[in-house]
Amino acid sequence: MHTRTVFTGGRVFDGVTTAQADVAIHGDRIVDVGIGLDGDEAVDCTGAFIVPGLFDCHVHIMASDFDVARSEQEPFSLPYYEAVRNLSLLLDQGITSARDAAGADAGVKRAIAKNLIEGPRLQTAIVMLSQTGGHGDLHLPSGGSRSMAMMMPHPGRPRSVRDGVDDVRRGVREILRAGADAIKVATTGGVMSTGDDPRHAHFRDDELAVIAEEVAAAGTYFFAHAQGTEGIKAALRHGARSIEHGYHLDDEAIDLLLRTGAWLVPTLSATQAIVDAADRGVPIPAESQALAREAVGAHRASFARAVDAGVKVAMGTDSPPYGHPSDSNLDELLLMTQASAMTPADAWRAATANSAALLRQDDLGALAPGKIADLVVVNGEVDDLRGLRGRIRSVILGGRRVR
């Protein structure tokens, strides 16, 4: 028999402002929000505020740091055990829902659902579609290829590199068959993939059209790793639900985001994390370091223009911050406010209601009767976004206190 638990004495963030209120939960649902609520148990939230469970819409739980050379020397199965730790670290930060943007397969998601391991509610893309010579093609000048664990094909993870309409169509179908919730496609090169250029557009219109056709038939969507301008616009013209990164947005790209209603997941943490890791001595290729340092300014300027125009923003980080204790996914909230006109309330909304809408999670993202009881109790003031990782007091996942 479930007890009625009341979180009392704190302030509740309603998506716009905070106000003194209690939150009552029963089983896995929020049943009331208001003043003076009673229940079987009380949780004192004095000196704290309560927000809905947080989202990170762009994680890679099978990656633990940026040291690709190290990961190439590790046993194949090790990233799965590292993922157990990484999922736990997400919960530590109040992230109760996440979208893995390549790496985690159906078995990881199933293990969470069966309570074999603990972790956020997880949506998966399994692998990222890439053209030959694209962001997911780990070909080396020597003729060999990198064996980056989160991209390596195996029975639960179809091959990433696809070319031509028929191969791309088959790729989408194979990835969906493997259990993906959505399809991720690289419509540009990337910073961390040597040999390609983030500014170049990848996949042609007929290839992108078949991706859009297949996801529509399956009742799902595709989202795009897109850093350069032309690749961003190509993805949007073919119905991408979200643009990940968006380093180089021009007026037309911003207009397409607005007209299509697509989301921007800026991942400001990503370029900064690469620069920080390189400064700590992580052996990141010189080409990638240079691209990341060059991209930081353009990335923030593009994001600021998108915010000013009213583009919808959801929270995602892309970076695997698990390898260094000073890093936190929640730093993204502060970065968004520093780089644009977003307020702290806007940042919290990006990490809650907006992200829930992007991932089609209607039962999450708000503190309201009937919603799933995912909530986070955070010490301090809601407008203070500094040091959030160390200020998490409690994390409730589906009505269960997991932290």
Cα distance between residue 290 and residue 191, in whole Å: 9
* Confidence (pLDDT) at 372: 98
What is the distance between the alpha carbons of residues 10 and 43, in angstroms, rounded to a whole number? 10
The pLDDT confidence band at residue 139, using thresholds 50, 70 and 90, is low
Measured N-to-C along each axis, helices 229-237 and 251-260 cross at an angle, to the nearest 10 degrees, of 20
What is the C-alpha to C-alpha distance for residues 363 and 345, in angstroms, rounded to an integer? 21
Predicted local distance difference test score (pLDDT) of residue 133: 87
Handedness of CA 44, 48, 51, 55 (dihedral sign): negative
**Overall residue count recorded for the chain in this entry:** 403
277 Cβ neighbours under 8 A, 6+ residues apart: 65, 66, 284, 323, 324
- In the chain, count of helices (H) and strands (E)? 12, 19
pLDDT digits (tens, 9 = 90+) for 369-381: 999 999 999 999 9
Q: Mean pLDDT throughout 312-332?
A: 80
pLDDT at 322: 57
The CA distance from 102 to 285, in Å, is 21
Judge whether 65 and 282 are in contact, CB under 8 Å: yes
Q: Is the dihedral of CA 244, 126, 231, 192 positive or negative?
A: positive
More confident residue, 139 or 20: 20
Q: Stretch 17-37: mean pLDDT, rounded? A: 96
For 305-317, give one letter per residue: b (16+ CB within 10 A) or e.
bbbeeebbbbbbb
Three-state secondary structure readout of 102-134: CCCCHHHHHHHHCCCCCCCEEEECCCEEECCCC
Supply the pTM of this predicted model: 0.93
Are the C-beta atoms of 314 and 350 separated by less than 8 Å?
A: yes
Cα angle 388, 348, 229; round to 5: 105
pLDDT, one tens digit per residue, over 126-135 is 999 999 988 8
pLDDT single digits (tens) 69-102: 677 778 889 999 999 999 999 999 999 999 999 9
Structure token digits, residue 69: 């050379």
Which architecture, in CATH terms, is 54-358? Answer: Alpha-Beta Barrel (3.20)
Tokens linked to 306:
């998108």
Residue percentage of the chain with pLDDT more than 70: 93
Percent of residues, the chain, with pLDDT higher than 90: 75
| Residue 143 CB-density burial (10 A; 0-12 exposed, 13-18 middle, 19+ buried) | exposed
Q: How many other C-beta atoms can be found within 10 angstroms of the C-beta atom of residue 265? A: 29
Mean pLDDT of 222-251: 97
Q: How many Cβ atoms sit within 10 Å of the Cβ of residue 85?
A: 12
**Rounded Cα gap, residues 303 and 27, in angstroms:** 40
C-alpha atoms less than 13 angstroms from C-alpha of 42 in its C-beta half-sphere:
11
- Cα radius of gyration (the chain): 21
Strand pairing of 392-397 and 375-379? antiparallel
**Per-residue pLDDT, 15:** 82
pLDDT of residue 70: 74
Least confident of 94-108, 138-152, 222-236: 138-152
At residue 122, does pLDDT exceed 60?
Answer: yes
> What is the pLDDT confidence band of residue 28, given thresholds at 50, 70 and 90?
very high
Predicted local distance difference test score (pLDDT) of residue 148: 61
Which of 100-104, 234-238, 288-292, 335-339 bottoms out in mean pLDDT, i.e. has the lowest?
288-292
- What residues does each domain of the chain span? 4-51+367-401, 54-358
Label residue 1 exposed, middle or buried (CB < 10 Å: 0-12, 13-18, 19+): exposed
pLDDT at 190: 79
Q: What is the pLDDT of residue 141?
A: 65
pLDDT of residue 285: 78
The CATH number fitting domain 4-51+367-401, selected from 2.70.170.10, 1.10.1040.10, 2.40.110.10, 2.30.40.10:
2.30.40.10
Q: Closest Cα partner for 324 from 271, 270, 282?
A: 282
| H-only helix segments in 280-330 | 286-309
Under a CB-based contact definition with an 8 Å cutoff, are residues 118 and 401 in contact? no
Report the C-alpha gap between 261 and 251 in whole angstroms.
Answer: 15
Provide the pLDDT for residue 135: 82
Which residue numbers are catalytic? 184, 318
Find out whether 181 and 133 touch, Cβ atoms under 8 Å: no
Of the candidates 39, 4, 31, 9, the one whose C-alpha atom is nearest the C-alpha of residue 22 is: 9
pLDDT at site 293? 84
pLDDT at 145: 58
The pLDDT value given to residue 142: 63
Comparing 145 with 283, the larger pLDDT belongs to 283
More confident residue, 309 or 141: 309
| Domain 4-51+367-401 and domain 54-358 have a common topology | no
Give the span between the Cα atoms of 190 and 192, in whole angstroms: 6
Q: For position 326, what pLDDT does the model report?
A: 60
* Structure-model confidence comparison of residues 286 and 266, the more confident one: 266
Contact between 234 and 203 under an 8 Å Cβ cutoff? The reply is yes
Tokens 């037309």 belong to 252
Q: How confident is the model at residue 1 (pLDDT cuts 50, 70, 90)?
A: low
Q: Residues 142-185: pLDDT tens digits? A: 665 555 666 788 899 999 999 999 999 999 999 999 999 999 99
pLDDT band at 210 (very low <50, low <70, confident <90, very high): very high
User: pLDDT, tens digit, for every residue of 336-355?
Assistant: 999 999 999 999 999 999 99
